[in-house]
Each structure stands twice: as C-alpha cells, then as structure tokens.
Amino acid sequence: MDDPFRERRLPPAEVRRILRRALTLAEQDPETQAVETSMTEGELARRAAELGIPQTALRGAADEHAPMLKPEEKGSAWIGAPLRTVLEEEIEGEISTDAHEEVVEVIRSVMEDAGQVQIVGKTLTWTPTLNPQRQTRQFSVTVRARNGKTFVRVEESFAAMAAGLFFGLGIGLGFSGALPIFGATLHATNSVFGAVLGAVAWFGFVYLIARTIFPWVARRRFRKHRELRTRILTAVRAVPRVEAPRKRKRIAGAEAEAEAEAEAEAEAEAEAEAVEGRGARAHR
C-alpha cells in the first residue's frame, strides 16, 4: 500500500490532529493488538519528542490518568491510603547553585511555610518548620544536580499521622464511648454478649471514622505534592543548565586522541618520505 504522506510535509497542527484521531481509531482497530507494544517512560518520552509532543504535556497526561494514591502499597487496604508517597522526576542538564534560591522560593510559596533549607554541594533539601506545639510532618523535597541531570524528589511519610489518628481515636474516643455503651447495654438487656457486641460495634464505628479521615488528608496532601513537583520542574527548566563534566571530559579526551592520531600519521608520512629520499640518493 502506498504511503499517502510520502511526498507531503505536514504542518505541526495537522500532525497533532492526525495523531489525536489515530489514537481514537486505534482503540477500535482490530490490528492494534498485533502492533501495540509496552515501553518505559523514557522510551515513551523519546517517541513523543520525535512526534513533536513536549515532555510537559506527556507528564500532564500521565498525571491525569495515574491513580491519586497507589492502593497496592503496604497498609493501604486497612487504612485507606499508602503510608508513604514519592514523586520523582529527572530532567537533562544540571542547575547551578545560584538557582537554589529560586527553587526554595517556589517551595515556600506552595507549602506556605518558610521551612528549613540544607544545601550540601549540589544537593538542596527542604523540610517543614519544626513546631513543638503540633506534630511535624515527615515531608521533604530534594533537588540534586549530578552527572548532567537534575533530580527532583518530593516525599512524605504518613506513618506518624496514621498512628496518631487510628490509635488516638481508638484509645481516646473508642474507650470513652465503648465503656458507657457496654454498661448501658448490659443494664438494659442483662446480657454480657449483647454488651460486648455493642462495645465492639462502637469500636468499629470509630475505626470507620479514622479510615474516612486518613485517606481524605492523604489525598489532599498528595495533590499538593503534584502541584509542588510541577512548579519546581517549571522553575528548573527556566534557569540555565549545564551538561555533565564527565561528558565534557569524554569529548575533550576524544578530541585529544584524534589529534594524537593525526600527529602520529604525519610523523609516519614524514619518516616514509625521508626513507624514500635516502633510497633515491643511494641509487644515484
């Protein structure tokens, strides 16, 4: 079958329109299963770049279709949300330490907290402000430049919050309500089994309250994490970045090696010419 686009160069807008329509038709095309293939995120980003799709658009599409929280993580089945969330991103080019101030301002703006900043070499770490009057969040942001790339990591552990919520409500509200219910039920029914059943039902109700609150708070914070990651990546992409020193060294080494080879060839040619000259004189 002849390629209808062989002699025709499509403008960017037409390329996007055809891709959108082709993706829609592919969902119903019986030949899709025979040609479809899985790929890593890096491979997908490279293929998309070849088609004129920026990585920001690809990341936005991935975020829209990704689950808010991973239900398969340990503890999520019982408490309704993961005990830990991590968002990571790696982009080409190293940011300089001069860009750290701008990154910190972005973090403070999104988190609405001055926080604590630690800079070691090319690694910036931000954590929330310590507050002795309330539990400090186990949250951190890391921006590291290494090997020609900038690595962004937004991470939070909800273990302490979950323990405080479930055990706090379970012990505090649970026992404070279960004991009166046990006594009232025992007095009304004169049945120990009925009284125990009433107390257990109350504990179950308290558990459902905790399980409703914890996922709500975790999802709300995770949305903030995604916003923060997007803002940081935008700031990082806006500042000048440099390639890895290792890469520059490799290029310099290749140039030096090529220059050495050229010099060796020149010396060999000069020596050969000298030998030929001596031979000609000896012949005469």
**127 in a domain, yes or no?**
yes
- Domain span at residue 138 reads 81-158+230-242
Residue 117 falls within a domain, yes or no?
yes
User: Is the pTM above the cut of 0.85?
Assistant: no
Residue 100 maps to which CATH number? Answer: 3.30.310
Looking at residue 69, its pLDDT comes to 46
pLDDT at 267: 66
Rg (CA), the chain: 32
In a domain, 116, yes or no: yes
Give the count of domains, the chain: 1
Q: In what order do the strands lie in the sheet with 149-157?
A: 84-92, 149-157, 138-146, 123-127, 116-120
Encode pLDDT of 182-238 as tens digits: 888 888 888 888 888 988 899 889 999 998 999 999 999 999 999 999 999 988 888
Distances 144 to 154, 194, 258 between C-alpha atoms, Å: 12, 60, 34
Q: Tell me whether residue 124 is in a domain.
A: yes
CB 89 within 8 A of CB 233: yes
Share of the chain above pLDDT 70, in %: 76
CA distance 194 to 76: 32
Q: How far apart are CA 229 and CA 216, in angstroms?
A: 20
In a domain, 224, yes or no: no
63-76 burial string, b = 16+ CB within 10 Å, else e?
eeeeeebeeeeeeb
In a domain? residue 23: no
For residue 86, is it within any domain? yes
Is residue 263 assigned to a domain?
no
